Amino acid sequence: MPDDRLDRCNTFGLPSRADRLVVARTEQALVGQLRRMASHEPLTVLGGGSNVVLRARLPGTVLLVRTRGMRLEVASDERVLLTAAAGERWHDLVRYSLGQGLGGLENLALIPGSAGAAPIQNIGAYGVELADRLVGLRAFDRASGKICRFDRTACAFGYRDSVFKSGAPGRYVILDVTLGLSTRPLLETGYPELRAELVAMGRVTPSPVDVAEAVVRVRRRKLPDPRRFGNAGSFFKNPIVTADAARRLRQANPGLVMHETPDGNMKLAAAQLIDRCGWKGRRQGAAGVWPRHALVLVNFGGAHAPDLLRLAEEIRRDVHARFGVDLVFEAQVLGQD
Ligand SMILES: Cc1cc2nc3c(=O)[nH]c(=O)nc-3n(C[C@H](O)[C@H](O)[C@H](O)COP(=O)(O)OP(=O)(O)OC[C@H]3O[C@@H](n4cnc5c(N)ncnc54)[C@H](O)[C@@H]3O)c2cc1C
């Protein structure tokens, strides 16, 4: 039986305990454990713990998914399917695919966490989302006790959202994911920071490996390394408002960054809103806002979940007071104090 402390199982480094902690290293063990539990028994599934705020106690069972395995399957001349067990580290998957000469995941390099958690919030970065690459996945359905398959449509992906996160939270435990990759990928280098980095690297016609390298460089510059400064990446989602609301906001606040979404709404940059409220680089005891990225809340050492959540609420309140915009947490708050 492993230690029931979760301090090292979450990238915020928050002190937390599970009533019962189980580590599953094979799919057989994972499914066996799930089958032995009634569907209503409290269960928290954790991969890398890089998108959660853990309160002091997680009731019931915490299941750490540490399953391993990747396999390639040639689908056509240019297209290859990569299937990875849920417990594989996401960045290892990216590196493995690039090493096999396959493109498609380069923009998603260096995102912490596991392959199995990637569909939960439809991870995305630098113009690419998991939804653009996912072909399907297998999951254990706690309601029926059966293993089922999801194609991309059934995952109901949205911006940092999926059926697993908001449609039927907690019902499915993802066992593996299958991604569609290419030997002749179309590169997505439209993001200004990414383009500038490629220019600085002298890559006029970059390869997928070059794009991944540029992404890694930009991320290392901007984001705190969780091994030194506890964090969960972006704490808030970028808010989406109607085109009318966006027009009014821009009139009252010249220079606000916004991008049109496919359905005609406008996505605002939460980091800019937080920055304009003066929060970038501010600290409240052990919790604070990262000086180089206003979306990232940091545990500078010794913070507990309530410290971070108090800070997050104050930021939300200020952004609402100044812009009338509601910020929504991207990270998931789990457990009890
Ligand atoms: C420095 C840093 C940078 C980041 N950058 C990005 C980024 O650019 N883009 C982005 O989208 N995210 C980013 N994140 C957030 C995070 O890395 C991703 O959301 C990642 O997919 C979380 O994976 P995880 O294994 O750590 O999930 P966890 O934090 O362990 O879990 C997250 C949620 O998924 C559930 N879950 C986990 N595994 C499974 C499973 N097998 N089946 C069912 N449910 C499961 C958990 O119950 C929980 O609700 C960043 C985080 C950090 C710390």
Domains of the chain, first to last: 7-65 (3.30.43.10), 70-182 (3.30.465.10), 231-334 (3.90.78.10)
- What are 271's two structure tokens? 């980091």
By most ligand atoms within 8 Å of CB, the mutation choice from 31, 44, 50, 227 for ligand 1 is 50
Q: What is the pTM of this model?
A: 0.96
Which ligand 1 atom sits nearest the alpha carbon of residue 125?
A: 8
Which ligand 1 atom sits nearest the alpha carbon of residue 46?
A: 30
Among 229, 226, 220, which residue's Cα sits nearest to residue 283? 229
The DSSP secondary-structure symbol of 168 reads S
Which ligand 1 atom sits nearest the alpha carbon of residue 11?
A: 53
Residue 195 annotated as catalytic: no
Cα dist from 178 to 29, 32, 205, whole Å: 21, 22, 28
pLDDT tops 80 at residue 2: no
Region 16-39: mean pLDDT is 96
pLDDT digits (tens, 9 = 90+) for 99-135: 999 999 999 999 999 999 999 999 999 999 999 999 9
Region 6-32: mean pLDDT is 97
pLDDT digits (tens, 9 = 90+) for 139-188: 999 999 999 999 999 999 999 999 999 999 999 999 999 999 999 988 99
Catalytic residue among 160, 162, 182, 213: 160
Cα dist from 249 to 87, 254, 323, whole Å: 43, 8, 7
Long-range contacts of 213-221 (CB under 8 A, 24+ apart): 215/106, 215/107, 215/108, 215/109, 215/110, 215/125, 215/126, 216/109, 216/110, 218/126, 218/193, 218/194, 219/109, 219/110, 219/125, 220/110, 221/292
CA of 331 to the centre of ligand 1 (A): 8
- Ligand 1 contacts CB of residue 122 (under 6 A): no
pLDDT digits (tens, 9 = 90+) for 197-246: 999 999 989 999 999 999 999 999 999 999 999 999 999 999 999 999 99
Instruction: Quote the pLDDT of residue 185.
Output: 83
Chain Cα centroid distance, residue 94: 15
